[in-house]
Amino acid sequence: MEHGKPIPKKRKSTYICAEFTEIMTAKNKVLIGLVIAALISRIAPHYPNFTAMGALAFMGAHQNKTLFKILALTFGVLMVTDVFINNLIYPSGSFVLMYKGSIWTYAGFIIYAVAGHYAKGGTKSIVALIIGSVGFFLLSNLGVFLSEFSLFPRTISGLMATYAAGLPFYAPELISTALFSAIAYAAEIKLVATAKA
């Protein structure tokens, strides 16, 4: 409405397209920010499991409709950082693309992305994030249990002991994912509001 007059159809569709473009631009900026944060937080010295990777998978899938695109982006960031970490930070003398058992970590981020993709909003998003985090914890530690580096016997009690040993690493994973997701959510709201102003 302009001064009490309805907006003509042509101008109304142009206005809706412009508003959609502003929202998409905001989402793209936030996604780029999450990618950069994930790259830096994974390569730079950090507290164990305190990175933006979970937020990239969860919020990326929550804000974008294409789940495959977010999974490809998440795996791309994981691979790039894995190559850097395995060959420059912790070199073994030969080129390492992926460390043994990394498939379990990658699969854990699929759970984050699926949880984010189906998360609705408000309290349901928080519940979905926790589900994604628990799923990541269970799957990645199952990988540790099944690996040749496992410190525990391959029994039910050995599996429980593996999960117990992994608990100190669960809190930083959940906290960092929640923190970076909250920052991404707030950034998108701010960018959309600024674009509309």
CA-CA distance, 182 to 180, in Å (whole number)? Answer: 5
pTM, two decimal places: 0.83
CA distances from 103 to 100, 121, 123, 184 (A): 8, 30, 31, 27
Handedness of CA 99, 101, 103, 106 (dihedral sign): negative
Closest CA to 178 of 92, 95, 102, 119: 119
CA-CA distance, 53 to 177, in Å (whole number)? Answer: 7
Read off the amino acid at residue 14: T
Any idea what DSSP says for residue 93?
S
pLDDT digit string (tens) for the chain, length 197 residues:
445 555 455 555 554 555 555 556 888 899 999 999 999 999 999 999 999 999 999 999 998 878 999 999 999 999 999 999 999 998 988 898 888 788 999 999 999 999 999 997 778 999 999 999 999 999 999 999 999 888 999 999 999 999 999 999 999 999 999 999 999 999 988 988 887 76
